[in-house]
């Protein structure tokens, strides 16, 4: 994993990628496996930077970032929200409703 930097040091595209991945899987095609692994490491570091208090990110991004997962298939990196997160949210909703 890359060393986490302050949230503001990352490109805005990372924020967009995480925001979109919460609702639908996003596939990023890269020229090589090495570049896909580097991007995955940078996205892990980006997610870690959101855990710092007063990082400056939107509250909804901070809350949903831990739900996002990464999957490497060759040189394709898929950023997505696993189904299990939806199941956990449903169970929590059912518990709070009853």
Where do the structural domains in the chain lie, given as residue ranges? 7-97
CB atoms near residue 27 (< 10 Å): 11
Instruction: For residue 74, give both structure tokens.
Output: 């060759």
How many whole angstroms separate alpha carbon 48 and alpha carbon 33?
A: 23
* Residue 73 three-state SS: strand
Instruction: For residue 30, give both structure tokens.
Output: 């890269």
Mean pLDDT of the region 12-35: 95
* Global confidence as pTM: 0.80
How many whole angstroms separate alpha carbon 36 and alpha carbon 78?
A: 10
How many whole angstroms separate alpha carbon 28 and alpha carbon 25?
A: 10
pLDDT tens-digit profile of 75-97? 999 999 987 656 666 666 677 77
């Amino acid at each position: 994993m890359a060393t986490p930097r302050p949230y503001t040091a990352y490109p805005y595209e990372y924020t967009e990628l995480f925001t979109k991945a919460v609702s639908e899987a996003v596939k990023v095609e890269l020229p090589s496996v090495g570049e896909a692994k580097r991007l995955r490491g940078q996205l892990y570091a980006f997610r870690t930077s959101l855990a710092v208090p007063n990082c400056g990110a939107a509250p909804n991004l901070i809350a949903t970032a831990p739900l996002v997962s990464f999957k490497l298939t060759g040189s394709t990196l898929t950023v997505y929200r696993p189904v299990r997160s939806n199941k956990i949210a449903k169970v929590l909703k059912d518990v709070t409703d009853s």
